[in-house]
Structure 1
Amino acid sequence: MAHDRPQDSAEVVIPPHIYGFPGVGFGGYAAGILAQNLSAASVKVNFRRPIPLGSPVALRRTEDKGYELTDAEGALLTAQECDEVAVPPSVPSWDDAVEAEKRHPLTNSPFATRDCYGCGGDRAPGQGLRQNFSQRPEQRMVVAPWTPDPELGRGRTVLTPEQMWGALDCPGGWACRLFSDAPHETVTAYMATTVTKPVVLGEDHVTFGWVLSKSGRKHMVGSAIATRDGELCARTEALWLTLPSQV
C-alpha cells in the first residue's frame, strides 16, 4: 500500500485480492499509488509490465521528478505530472444510469469478469469496487450507478487515490470491447487522469466510459466519475492495447 505522504522510496505490496486478470495486479489501483505520491492534480501513468500480486516491489522517485514501481527486472509502471485531461462530451445522469441498468445490463456479457476488483459482481463488500456496468448503445457509452461501499474506507470517508484510479480503469475497458471491437485480451497501456473532487463513500455516483478513437491495436478511451448531481470528481484518457497474439 502507498503512504499518505510522498516518499523518495518505499516498498509496496499489491494485496492478493486486487486483480482484474487472474494473477496480475489491478493496473488502475497500482497507478493510483504512484499518482498519490506525485501529489499533482493531473498525472499520467505508463504500464510497462504486469504487476505481481502479494510480492514486494519498489516505489522510487525518478531523476525527472516522477515515480516508478520496479522489480528486479526493471520498471513496471512509471508516472509523471501531465496536462489536464479534457472534460467528457456529456455526463449521464443518475436516472440515465439506472435506466441503462434496467434495459441493457452487461451481467451476462462474455466480457464480464465476475471476480474483477473493479467491476466484479461476485466480490464481497469491501473486497472490490463492485461497479455494475450497463450500456447506452445510442450514446456508445457504458455507465454504472455506483454507491461506493463504506467498507472500502477502513476508517476513511472517501476513496483512496488507488481506489479512485481503480474505479476509472474498468469503464474504458468495457467501452473499447463493446464499441471499438477490442477482444478480451486488451490491456491498459497508459492512464492520464485529472482529479477535481473526492469520491465520498456511501454517496451515489455515476461512472462511465466511452471510445475516443481506434487505430489498429490501439484503442483510446475516456472514463469519468461524477456525483449524483453531475459534478465531475475525476476523468481519464487511457490507451488500451490489444495483445499482438490477438491480431
Structure 2
Amino acid sequence: MNNPTLHIARRFCGPPNSGNGGYVCGLVAKHMDQTCQVTLHAPPPLDTDLQLHSDGDCLQLRHGDQLLASARPYTFDLDIPPPPTLEDAEDAQQRFVGIRYHDLPGCFVCGTNRDAGDGLRIFTGCVCDHEDQVAALWKPAADLADTNGNVASEFLWAALDCPGFFAVKPVSNMALLGRYSARIEQPVHAGETLIVSAWAISHEGRKHNAGSALYRSNGERVACAEATWISLNR
C-alpha cells in the first residue's frame, strides 16, 4: 500500500518557503486516531508531495529520507486562564507588535502582508495590563470550511499557533515552533466571531511554553492548544 501524501500549498506558508507550523501539525494530526503531539524536525517544503509513514501508533512526515515531523499519542492538561471579553480582545489587537515590525509578514496566520480572505490575519496584542497574555478576534472565512460547513481542523490548529508565539515573544525574541498539540472541543462554523487568547506558561533557556484557546463571543471555549517554542540563535 502506498503511503498517504500531504501537499502544503504556498498559501499556507509560515516562513516564505515552508509551511506554517500549526497548519502542518494540524494536517498530520488529521491522520492520527487520537489526540496527539506533533514535533517539527525540519521546515516542511511547499508545493511538494510529502509522505506519511506509520511507526506503530505514531506517524512520521517525510520528504524522501528527510524527517520533517513526527506525531505521537499525547494528552495535555492545561491550566487555562479566564477568557478575555469580546471588547478586551478587540482592544488588545490594536496593540499587535507585528504592525510595527514583523519577522514573517507573509505568514498565513499572523502575516501583515496577507490580504483578508487570503491569510487569517490574527493579530494578537497584550490584554490590558497582562504582558504574558495576548488576544484578538478572528472570523473564519467560508473557504476554510469542510463539507459539513465547519472550519477544518487544520485551520483551527493554525489559528491557535502564532498567538502562542506572541505570548512568549517578550522573552523568546524570534522563535520557531518545536512541539505542538491541540484539542478541538466543539465544531466552529465559518463566519462566526471568535476570541483568540494565548498566554506564556514557562521559559527555560531557549525553550518557551505557551497555551492558547479559541472561544465563541460569549466566552464558550471551542479549542485549546499547548506549544513549545524554540528561540533562534542570533
TM above 0.5, one fold? yes
Give the match for residue 172 of structure 2: 182
Is the aligned partner of 1:172 residue 2:164? yes
Give the match for residue 3 of structure 1: none
Instruction: Please state how far the C-alpha of 1:154 moved relative to its aligned partner.
Output: 6.8
Instruction: Please state how far the C-alpha of 1:206 moved relative to its aligned partner.
Output: 0.7
- 2:50 corresponds, among 57, 76, 83, to 57
- 1:16 corresponds, among 10, 14, 19, to 10
Q: Where do residues 1-247 of structure 1 align in structure 2 (5 Å cutoff)?
A: 9-40=3-34, 42-63=35-56, 65-102=57-94, 104-111=95-102, 113-136=104-127, 138-139=129-130, 140-153=132-145, 157-178=149-170, 181-184=171-174, 186-243=175-232, 245-246=233-234
Provide Cα deviations, 1:118-154, integer angstroms capped at 9, x if missing partner.
0123323432222122222522211111111123337
* Alpha-carbon distance between aligned partners in 1 of 2:37 and 2:151, rounded to the nearest angstrom: 19
Instruction: Please state how far the C-alpha of 1:198 moved relative to its aligned partner.
Output: 1.8
Give TM-score scaled by structure 1 length.
0.87
* Alpha-carbon distance between aligned partners in 1 of 2:151 and 2:50, rounded to the nearest angstrom: 23
Residues 111, 175 of structure 1: alpha-carbon distance in 2 compared, 3 angstrom cutoff? farther
Aligned residues: 233
Residues 208, 8 of structure 1: alpha-carbon distance in 2 compared, 3 angstrom cutoff? farther
Give the match for residue 4 of structure 1: none
* Alpha-carbon distance between aligned partners in 2 of 1:39 and 1:141, rounded to the nearest angstrom: 32
The answer to whether the 8 Å contact 2:105/2:113 transfers is: yes
* Alpha-carbon distance between aligned partners in 2 of 1:152 and 1:125, rounded to the nearest angstrom: 13
Instruction: Please state how far the C-alpha of 1:15 moved relative to its aligned partner.
Output: 0.4
Provide Cα deviations, 1:59-81, integer angstroms capped at 9, x if missing partner.
12222x12121112332111122
Unaligned 5+ residue runs, structure 2? Answer: none
Identity of aligned residues (%): 27
One-letter identity of the residue aligned with 2:153: P
SS for the counterpart of 2:166 is: helix
Give TM-score scaled by structure 2 length.
0.91
Provide Cα deviations, 1:45-102, integer angstroms capped at 9, x if missing partner.
1111111111111012222x12121112332111122114324122112121112234
Provide Cα deviations, 1:7-61, integer angstroms capped at 9, x if missing partner.
9831111001211111111111111111111132x32111111111111110122
